[in-house]
Structure 1
Amino acid sequence: MVVISVIAIVLLLVYLDDKLGQLIFRNGRKKVVYPERRSDISLYINGRHLFSDYFAELGRARDHIHVLFYIIKHDETSAPFFQILKEKAAAGVKVRVLTDWVGSFGLPKALIHSLEESGVEFAYARKPRFPFFIYRLNRRNHRKITVIDGRVGYIGGFNIGREYNGKDANFGEWRDYHLKVNGEGVHDLQEQFLHDWEEATGRTVPDKYRYFPPLSAGAIRHQLVATDGAALEEQFIEVIRQAKKEIMIGSPYFIPSRPLFNELMQALRRGVRVTVLVPLKADHLFVKEAAYPYFYRLLKAGARIYRFYQGFYHAKTLVIDEEWCDVGTANFDRRSLFLNGEINCYVFDRAFTRLVKRAIERDLLRAEPLTVDFWQKRSLLDRGKQSISQLISAWL
């Protein structure tokens, strides 16, 4: 009885911490919509190809390297990454590394110390503290941004670690979408990185002008949007509402808000073709089961749901009518909608949108369709997990 009472009190305190934190900080949640830009943009869907290009660009840095990842692992994939950063810092290149405290919790202190000894400035984003420890713990910086010399930028779903390079046997091939940006959009990636750095460190970056060299316009019209637990839901609803023929969604986690889900159902009712691609495997407890109630209603309404089986599907993308696409860091779930710091790249270019659509279609060839019959024949264990997942879906 005492144990049950203690558990009940702890759960109540956690609940109050989270709810009060939401009330106190809700006015601080914001979005930053950068101007429409023109850049040359390349799409990477394979970790080996991305890291080969990425490490080569880091090695060519002459003035500065600014890096932000949600997760940075300490393994054989990150070893050359850290080595390049150390060498560049020792050679006089200004190197700043920012990573989320929860996402990169396992980084050894000795490694961080060695980076700093080489001249690398290192900081954790979103370190939780009292009051409202639980709420702060949940509000993570999920952005992935790299800016090199103010001229080359990267944004997307990949983190730094062996699984993202397809070297983890538990996941196999890691499927993700990442963008390399050359052109005007790099200014906005730089602006967001410096904002996040100053927020995390409490220090103003001196001589900011050096980080914004003049840039030429590229061929692809796009817009960067940074959100912090607000406005992303409304933006997704707006573009889904405009769809006339087709909506394609790729996400490792599918836990939409009720208004966002209702908008998808409305799209199906007006004859829009809706395709959702998610992983067959799960990398977090309960997230797969949390999607099942939404999948059942979507399937009954005529949507196509596919589960990627050749490895793990981690891409975050949305395609509307071959006219508009989004590639970024936000998942199609409540955590990205209402808690995390995210950054997405909206592309208003038909040719590039078709490129992203073709990438999704290739991944659909290595995915199995989910059926109503399969959903109805799930085991009691899966049904139990679904019930639990619905209770904690906001935190998944």
Structure 2
Amino acid sequence: MRLTRAIDTCWRHGHRVRLLENGEDYFARVFEAIDAAQREVLLETFIWFEDKVGLALKERLVAAAQRGVRVHFLVDAFGSPDLSDDFLQELTTAGVQLRMYDRQPTLMGIRLNVFRRMHRKLVAIDETLAFVGGINYSADHLADFGPTAKQDYAVEVQGPVVADIVSFLRRAMVTRGTGERWEPGNEAASRKAEGPADVCFLPRDNGRRSRAIEHAYRQAFRDAKREIVIANAYFFPGYGFLRDLRAAARRGVKVQLIFQGEPDTPMALIAARWLYRYLVDAGVHIFEYCERPFHGKVAVIDEEWSTVGSSNLDPLSLSLNLEANVFIRDADFARDLRGRLGKLIDDHCKAIEPDSVPRGRFWQPLTRPVLFHVLRNFPQWAGWLPAHKPATTLVRPPDDADAPS
């Protein structure tokens, strides 16, 4: 009940929102916004590669810092393990405040800190403009990367919720022991109404908001009247999520799910297919996107409610990783997203016919209760996994390398 109230109170009114599809849209807008920044640039990402996209981002951040813009960037150390010393030095020497999330040594070349990653992809510019989505800073989000280029989405937002995103990013980036303080911001600018959309910014953490994103989805399922369309790269959610989705289908809501048909991680498809029989028996329609790897994390309901963000619908995202989505109530945005997903279904997906989904061998009905027991209890079990407390480390310029951190 407390979490439901938190979701209800996170909504802000008066936003302009714009859907961005793939790296072509996203990088162009983010780079343009960084180039125009006058006071502050805040970013978070899971993956940052030293390819043409990563280098282009670095050049813009260096230029922004050199003209006096405060630039703060939090990067997950597991997702971005190979940034060179020269690359990092150019950033820090220019004045970019670069932080690495949970930077840990390897054991015989093996990275062990695989759980509880900082998986968010956020940008905030001058307290007036923000970007939220699933797109990393790597060339594999561009079509010219080839057959393994990823299909993905993000949203650009202006309006009062930007203040929530900025406040969240500043808290996330404070590094203990540095003595840093944030200067008072221009909150009035970010609180200014910009358009008709209602927006809720909802991060997932391993504390009080550990199930925030999942509960926002489930609340929307229960309110759905006509249609639910979900497109998600990794789908293996908890039992309650599946139960609410099936209940919607059984009361006449048209439920359509788009999964990877050509996954970058084969296990993703294997896991999702474990659930196909359970879903199609309730009337859920399933499609596999087969043109290239699907990396999106989006949904639209009744052409009114939408979500875009970093959270997959699997145990890692719903129970372990740090994630962030925006939830949007705006008919124009929802119709845009629904239209694009409809085009994917019509032109690039293979429909999974119910008759083609195997009933399974004689032992599978016996194992299904075990599977759902795992799905029901995984969020609780995840808290028992061995874990250290991840630290955020400031990457210092060479002449300050010996200072305490």
* TM class, shorter-length: 0.7 to 0.9
Q: Does 1:226 align with 2:203?
A: yes
For the residue of structure 1 that corresponds to 2:21, the secondary structure is strand
Corresponding position of 1:259: 240
Identical-residue share of aligned pairs (%): 25
- CA displacement, residues 34-69 of structure 1 (integer Å, 9 cap, x when unaligned): 442321111111311221222111111111111111
Residue from 295, 316, 331 that aligns with 2:297: 316
- CA displacement, residues 124-181 of structure 1 (integer Å, 9 cap, x when unaligned): 123459xxxx996400111111111111111111111100122332413x32111111
* Structure 2 residue ranges without an equivalent (≥5): 1-5, 106-110, 361-370, 383-405
- CA displacement, residues 100-129 of structure 1 (integer Å, 9 cap, x when unaligned): 111111222321122111111111123459
Q: Does 1:371 align with 2:353?
A: yes
Residue from 343, 346, 349 that aligns with 2:330: 349
Residue from 300, 310, 323 that aligns with 2:281: 300
- CA shift in 2, pair 1:353/1:102, >3 Å: same
For the residue of structure 2 that corresponds to 1:117, the secondary structure is helix
Corresponding position of 1:88: 64
Q: TM-score, normalised by structure 1?
A: 0.81
How far residue 193 of structure 1 moved from its aligned partner, in angstroms, is 0.9
Cα distance in 1 for residues equivalent to 2:180 and 2:252? 51
How far residue 312 of structure 1 moved from its aligned partner, in angstroms, is 2.2
Corresponding position of 1:245: 226
- CA shift in 2, pair 1:110/1:256, >3 Å: same
Q: Which moved more, 1:139-148 or 1:232-241?
A: 232-241
Corresponding position of 2:48: 72
Residue from 98, 101, 120 that aligns with 2:96: 120
Checking the alignment, whether the CA contact within 8 Å between 1:243 and 1:272 is kept in structure 2 is: yes
Checking the alignment, whether the CA contact within 8 Å between 1:151 and 1:213 is kept in structure 2 is: no
Checking the alignment, whether the CA contact within 8 Å between 2:221 and 2:228 is kept in structure 1 is: yes
Cα distance in 1 for residues equivalent to 2:337 and 2:80? 29
Equivalent residue letter for 1:122: L
Runs of 4+ in 1 over 4 A off after TM superposition: 200-205, 389-395
- CA shift in 2, pair 1:188/1:38, >3 Å: same
For the residue of structure 2 that corresponds to 1:266, the secondary structure is helix
Residue from 200, 204, 214 that aligns with 2:189: 214
Equivalent residue letter for 2:135: F
Cα distance in 2 for residues equivalent to 1:182 and 1:150? 9
- CA shift in 2, pair 1:202/1:335, >3 Å: farther
Checking the alignment, whether the CA contact within 8 Å between 1:126 and 1:137 is kept in structure 2 is: no
Corresponding position of 1:139: 116
For the residue of structure 2 that corresponds to 1:56, the secondary structure is helix
5 Å-filtered alignment, 1:36-55, equals 36-55=12-31
Q: Does 1:339 align with 2:320?
A: yes
Residue from 67, 74, 83 that aligns with 1:98: 74
Checking the alignment, whether the CA contact within 8 Å between 1:142 and 1:341 is kept in structure 2 is: yes
5 Å-filtered alignment, 1:126-205, equals 126-127=102-103, 137-172=114-149, 174-198=150-174, 203=178, 205=180
Checking the alignment, whether the CA contact within 8 Å between 1:194 and 1:205 is kept in structure 2 is: no
For the residue of structure 1 that corresponds to 2:75, the secondary structure is strand
For the residue of structure 2 that corresponds to 1:214, the secondary structure is helix
Cα distance in 2 for residues equivalent to 1:251 and 1:109? 35
How far residue 339 of structure 1 moved from its aligned partner, in angstroms, is 0.8
Residue from 258, 262, 267 that aligns with 1:281: 262
How far residue 300 of structure 1 moved from its aligned partner, in angstroms, is 2.5
- CA shift in 2, pair 1:78/1:377, >3 Å: farther
Equivalent residue letter for 1:105: P
Checking the alignment, whether the CA contact within 8 Å between 1:255 and 1:332 is kept in structure 2 is: yes
Cα distance in 1 for residues equivalent to 2:115 and 2:177? 20
How far residue 204 of structure 1 moved from its aligned partner, in angstroms, is 6.0
For the residue of structure 2 that corresponds to 1:282, the secondary structure is coil
* Structure 1 residue ranges without an equivalent (≥5): 1-30, 379-388
Cα distance in 1 for residues equivalent to 2:267 and 2:293? 16
How far residue 370 of structure 1 moved from its aligned partner, in angstroms, is 1.8
For the residue of structure 1 that corresponds to 2:146, the secondary structure is coil
- CA shift in 2, pair 1:92/1:193, >3 Å: same
- CA shift in 2, pair 1:392/1:169, >3 Å: farther
- CA shift in 2, pair 1:331/1:204, >3 Å: farther
- CA shift in 2, pair 1:391/1:260, >3 Å: closer
Q: CA RMSD in A?
A: 2.8
- CA shift in 2, pair 1:81/1:273, >3 Å: same
